[in-house]
Amino acid sequence: MPTSSAGMRRDGDALVFTGALLRDDVAALWRQASAAVDGVRRFDLQAVSRIDSAGLALLAELATRAGGGIAIDGTPAGLAELRAAYRLDAALGFAA
């Protein structure tokens, strides 16, 4: 069985994600990320190579749990297209 290529760590007010945030990997990140989201103001995606709809759903839910207004650092492949398709703003909230 292949190992997950996605990772996450807390660094100050940021959650720093690495690897590819894809469907097969995000479930393994959920518990760790949701436990670390209090007080987060930023998602660092600079080391994320790709993201799919499951990865976006993870980030959007975490942004909501963090209270919104999340700054996003980095633009992995797929992020802009998925944000547009799901009508999410730059902070991963639903656009008006």
Question: Does residue 21 register a pLDDT over 50?
Answer: yes
Q: Helix or strand or coil: residue 49?
A: strand
CA 8 to chain centre: 9
- For residue 35, with 0-12 CB atoms within 10 Å meaning exposed, 13-18 middle and 19 or more buried, which class applies? exposed
Report the pLDDT value the prediction gives residue 82, as an integer from 0 to 100: 96
Report the pLDDT value the prediction gives residue 4, as an integer from 0 to 100: 58
Alpha helix positions (H), 1-96: 23-36, 53-65, 79-85
Average pLDDT over residues 11-15: 96
pLDDT digits (tens, 9 = 90+) for 29-72: 999 999 999 999 999 999 999 999 999 999 999 999 999 999 99
CB 50 within 8 A of CB 79: no
Report the pLDDT value the prediction gives residue 5, as an integer from 0 to 100: 83
Q: And the tokens for 32?
A: 């760790």
CB 42 within 8 A of CB 30: no
